[in-house]
A and B are shown apart, each in its own frame.
Chain A
């Protein structure tokens, strides 16, 4: 990332975020504050850093930007976004369910909810074959992707379809 080039010694933080299509590595000087992760992503994605929030992957509550990046904070994948909660809708067999997730939620976490007892209660024998695709599409999304990568502020809604994955005998069911 441009603002963090030429950092010789420091910390490496993995981050996803609004405007980023993939997880990236941010390199910052030792002792940097969490706020610097936000600044790096905001600069890259072209939005004001003061509007953005920092999350840890799959955690719903924002991170205190005054924290020094060390220990557990350094080991986790982060997410920077201007939306605090995303209204997620999932469609399956003519029904729609909805729930709110932080943008740092992985597709896997939304999938777990959608097939589980609070979602569509998918039969356990076929549940392992289920995937999520963007609504109206048929390509299964990567399960590690943070849902925030699919939403750009001021939008705060996201729709998925629950689909059957490809089975290995070459036929799609």
Chain B
């Protein structure tokens, strides 16, 4: 494939994969745009009041998959990071993952910048990035977080 970098080939393979497409069919995420090296994906969310929503993420994928994705929660209309007051709400796990921190990326071990700080890569190998990971690995993690509010709304026995 002349002129197409290994990273572009890997990204295309991921977008065409059964794992990614299954998420699309389940309504868990959808591709918004892709111009190498930037991919924008909208991920379905459940808000604390049980309403449905979606949040966009901007993946910078230079060197993928040898280099981890750099993922930011995104406002495509403004072509900028999503404003703090519009970020996902819910448990500490959710707000922590999408908080504004000095590097500005998603605060998860698989992210290029988050994973490189502290000892996350060694402390959490199951969530850290490695070259065998695919885009769906990151999307499954984001979708799991964004829909976790559902778990706090199941029917409870009477107090």
Interface residues of A (CB under 8 A from B): 14, 22-25, 57, 75-77, 111-112, 115-117, 121-122, 124-130, 139-140, 142-144, 165-170, 172
Contacts and interface: CB of A to CB of B under 8 A. Distances in A.
A36 B156 CA distance: 43
Interface of B: 18-19, 21-23, 25-26, 28, 90-94, 96-97, 99, 107-109, 118-120, 123-124, 126-127, 140, 144, 148-157
Contacts, number: 87
Contacts of B152: 124-125, 127-128
Given A124-B156, A168-B108, 16 more contacts: A14-B18, A14-B21, A22-B18, A77-B25, A112-B150, A115-B151, A115-B154, A117-B155, A124-B151, A124-B153, A127-B154, A128-B151, A130-B151, A144-B23, A144-B140, A172-B124
Given A76-B25, A168-B108, A117 B157 contact: yes
Given A25-B21, A166-B127, A168-B108, A77 B26 contact: yes
Given A128-B93, A144-B140, A168-B96, A75 B154 contact: no
Given A117-B156, A125-B91, A23 B18 contact: yes
A144 B26 contact: yes
A167 B124 CA distance: 11
Contact of B93 (A122, A124, A167, A170): A167
Given A14-B25, A24-B18, A121-B157, A142 B140 contact: yes
A113 B155 CA distance: 11
24 contacts: A14-B25, A24-B18, A25-B18, A76-B25, A77-B25, A112-B150, A112-B151, A115-B151, A116-B155, A117-B154, A117-B156, A117-B157, A122-B151, A124-B152, A125-B91, A127-B151, A127-B152, A128-B150, A144-B22, A144-B28, A167-B92, A167-B96, A168-B93, A169-B96
